[in-house]
Structure 1
Amino acid sequence: MSDEVERVQVMSRLEAVLASETLSDAAKAQAKNLLDRLGSGVNVVVLGPKGAGKSRLCDVMLGHALPEPGQKASVYSFDDVQTDPDESVASLCLQCDFLKLTTVTDVTAPQDMDDFAATAAWAMSRADIVLWCTSEFGPTEANIWADASDHLKDHSFLVLTKADRLAGQGQLNHVISALQYIAAEEFHSFFPTSTLQAHATLTRTGGIPDDQMAASGIKALKDTLLRLAMSGRRADLDSALLFLERYGADTSAPETAKDEASSPQRQTYQKALDLLRSRTADISQDAAPDAVLNCCGALAEDLAELASAETQSAPDFDAWRNDLYEASDKVMLMTLENDLRSAADAATIILQLSRDLQSRVSH
């Protein structure tokens, strides 16, 4: 099942659970939040000081010349989101493959850096991924970015814009060396980009050749961003599945009768799936990391013991059993780290095991 098909099915199940009126107010709020996240995509915020080249980067990345806010355009629509009476950001809505997974927000930067700090703080609080565009990432920018959460830093990119201009000034290598060090500490990745020629071609012809896209540095940025966005969408799906498991909603596809339904392998898969379903509700998203890790660790160990107790052997079953042992080892290692990220990763592994078993039982 593709992630897109699964997303639609999961959203439908969430809507059905909400309509059933069986949830507490807190659970309803959580379900609505999950629906919003699955419906809106991963929020990518493009930030940086005024004149950093953010809009030109968006143009090249999305493959369309960006009109100014307020102008009529058949491709883009703008929604002004007020941060305070004097400032706003414009959300860009565009029909392209990149935006099937993401919502891109280009933040208009005030000239005054104090005002920019307030706008950036507002935008960062709503971002899943930040593209911080800069030509130097000086102390003022660093101070603003220091207030970002560790989670956001781990999912954001430092983007050096106008690399072609720096190369012409003989400063490119020096700037790249300095920013690589900063990016290693403060960001997920670092990408030097040169959009001048690509943007000129886009404006003139309406498109950008693949080789020019690669040479601009935008292709590498976009590919990495898409992989991260897909990971974020998968995490949102896992959270929704965990919610549905916790509140007793069937998250599996309708089962069909199979000639081999009573095979020993299928019986073992069903036992493992029943064990997962009986214990998944114990993995609370509101629990402390050590509680989540202890629950996931015990569950992974019990699944491994169930699999090891089976004497049957078949290539597919042996591969599943080996995968289960590997997953159990990973969860055990995560319990040693005992932090929020490890707890989320452990819960994701448990949900992956559940999805795999649902597929094995129903096919």
Structure 2
Amino acid sequence: MLYTLCGRDIAPDGLSLPPAIELQFGHSPQTHATLADGSHLTCEGWPRADLLAEAPVFLRITAPLDALTRMSFLALSLDVNPAMHRPALAWAARRTEIAVWCTTAFSDLDARIWANAPERLSHRAYLVETAPNTGVSDHKAAADFTGHLHLALPGEVAPLLNRIGDDIDEARIADLDAAHLLLHRLGHLNGPISTASDVATKEPQRSPGQLSRLRDILSEPTIYLSRRVRALAEDLAWIDPDAEAAWHETALIHCTETAEGLKDRSSEWPDDLAEFTALSEMIDDATNLLLLLQMDSGPDQVEDAAGLLHQMRCAFDQCRLGHGVAA
């Protein structure tokens, strides 16, 4: 699966790959390796024999592949030691939105390992079987997956990428719906709000190369912000109205921590495009304002805080798509 996504065998001279490999978009192939002692090595291009000879435990590979413009991939090879299965899957679950269980044919061993996987992985998970001349598995545990695919590897990943692409589109709409729900839950919406379709109708103001840089740098913080907004909306949906007053402080802390997380990320952004500078200034202003809102914890303050998160979410979308800085 990994070789098919990359379009090449990425293990030179038959050397072993580490148990965890991440693929991300980049303008040119580059390999970042983490060794067992926590040190790091970087080389231009795909993994080299001398780098793999250092026995890295994790590789991050960036490459200009079309599939990586919309998503990144974390490939996890499970250790033969059953005691390591759950910790490895728990580590991956924190970094994963969609899971793909790839195996030759789903077996009892696959079922036992999957049964101990963190629940978060099963929310959106696909089973991919690659054994030739077989259909998808009829194993009882295989019914737990969102969908089943049989792919002839190497070479055939388009059906899987198409399904994941549809999931991404659905998730983007859900992110905006969650933001709207959050504002409606706390109070009335004031003024018009930009939607994904509104943004998509505008002409990009950046060259293809600049758009690629914006997406490369802003994709991860956009996902982070979406997760935080969605989590807050879901928490609000389950609040007992009689206990809502006591929850205001917790909600404001959540919003402040979100802004501070974005601030940490923006500190490493370049300053050669106006979008990076404008978003950094917006995040700084929002962080300062959220700290002030915490001093007067109440429904009005939480509504203002939720509005700030939504404004930042819309601004990230506009900047990432090359439509300039949101007003």
Alignment TM-score, normalising by the size of structure 2: 0.43
User: Whose radius of gyration is greater, 1 or 2?
Assistant: 1
Which has the bigger relative contact order, CA under 8 A and spacing at least 6?
1
**Bigger fraction of residues in helix:** 1
